[in-house]
Amino acid sequence: MSIPERTTSDPSPRAATGAAQGGIAQGEPQDPAARRHARRVLALSSLGAFVVFLDTTIVNVAFETISRSFHTTTGHLSWVLNIYSLVFAAALIPAGRLADRYGRKRVFLIGMTGFALMSALCGLAPSATVLIIARGLQGAFAALTIPTSLALVLPEFPPARRPAAIGTWGTMAAAAAAVGPTLGALLIEYASWRWIFLVNVPICALVLAVGLRLLRETREQGARGIPDPVGAVLIAVIPAALSLGIVEGPSWGWSSPRVIASSSPSYCCRSSYGAPAPQPGP
């Protein structure tokens, strides 16, 4: 995903002098209002990243409680975590390309809307199957949110200040992953396991309400298509098949045809990747 540069259109001698000194040429926002706007965009985008990464770890402490609620095994419920991570990882690159083509603000807001709706569906799920499906869709919308949240931040800052902005954004994401298990345990203890998903809804609503007014639309001119859709599907399907074999192996039997079939694609890819490259002839 490319990052558009901010430019200045001020023709005054003062602006020309600043450009000669390198400040405006590097995109330095001279206007205090522009600096305030940049900080607000950073705070909003960081909050969006926070709620997405929160869901990568907040579920970890809830498996036993959820399994009792749905009368199922923790092995089955491991897909609540696995499918979110698999779909999220597979959809990141296509999501970034879609944002380049259709607009980062638009894709970010679609991602946050879908993430909120799927969080509500997870919290209200009547069965483990519905919960797993909702988590997969939640991971897809999370993938729309993460690359666009950072892409919306960077054009607001001059190149010299972008490392600090990226650091702030990354710190919020890391803090969410660290806080997740503790917050999840508190919600389970004093409310219900359903609130580990429902807690996302008001946060997403706040991001959407502010983002509609605050964010600026940017896109890459001439962007076309989605990069390697087949590869994106394989990134999700092959690890999912391997996870299926590992999770269900104890109940199916490690030598059963279903375990062998689900594990075979990953072994084939590993063998192909590890094969020596053909040597040129004499």
Return the domain boundaries, the chain: 31-223, 228-270
Q: Is the pLDDT of residue 130 over 80?
A: yes
Q: Which CATH architecture has domain 31-223?
A: Up-down Bundle (1.20)
At a CB cut-off of 8 Å and minimum separation 6, what does 110 contact? 141, 144
At a CB cut-off of 8 Å and minimum separation 6, what does 220 contact? 1, 2, 4, 100, 101
Alpha helical stretches, state H, 154-228: 162-190, 195-198, 200-214
At residue 174 the predicted structure's pLDDT band, cuts being 50, 70 and 90, is very high
What pLDDT, in 10s, does the model give residues 213-259?
999 998 877 666 666 667 667 766 777 677 667 766 767 777 778 77
pLDDT of residue 261: 79
Q: Which residues of 78-112 are buried (b: 16+ CB within 10 A; e: fewer)?
A: ebbbbbbbbbbebbbbbbbbbbbbebbbbbbbbbb
At residue 8 the predicted structure's pLDDT band, cuts being 50, 70 and 90, is very low
